[in-house]
Amino acid sequence: MNFISVRPYLPSDADATADIFFRAIREVAARDYSPTQINAWARIDDRAQWAIRRSSRPGWIAELACKPVGFTDLVPNGYLDLMFVHPEYQGLGVASILLARVEQEARELRLDRIHTEASITARPFFERRGFRVLKSQQVEKRGEILSNFLMDKTLVA
């Protein structure tokens, strides 16, 4: 059995996170969104800006056999901006391990809650881990309207 480890994001991880982002949306979220929505969402217009944004906040990489298989981050105000798992490694607990790391960081920052905007695809995962839907919303990505859910979780000490 292989062990999933989590380590801090490094600037050299930018390409790996972009690949995971693209594949997770195109291969997993595609069951919940139309092809035009997927094409609008699964794009990075500026790779340098992507790398800067990933490095601008605490972030983590999940690895299996030294290969990046998922990533997440946390804005200091408690916003979990991105969490994606490579399609070939879905169902192995990668997202759960990443979320546990996010929650640990949030507690270290003395936050009492974390919040996210979960896709239709991700909503059940977050609900199973104690998040509640605050509202459903429509967001615009490159001219396409996508449904997602503003969700939060209260952290207990």
* Closest of 109, 114, 107, 113 to residue 83, by C-alpha: 114
Contact call for residues 44 and 50 (beta carbons, < 8 A): yes
State in Å, rounded, how far the first CA of the chain is from the last one.
32
- The reported pLDDT for the residue numbered 157 is 62
| Least trusted range by pLDDT, from 1-15, 21-35, 74-88, 140-154 | 1-15
What letter represents residue 93's amino acid?
Answer: G
The domains of the chain, with CATH numbers, are: 4-154 (3.40.630.30)
Is the model's pTM score more than 0.85?
yes
* 138/146 Cα distance (integer angstroms): 5
Q: What is the DSSP string of 29-47?
A: GGGTS-HHHHHHHS--S-H
pLDDT digits (tens, 9 = 90+) for 11-67: 999 999 999 999 999 999 999 999 999 999 999 989 899 999 999 999 999 999 999
DSSP state of 76: T
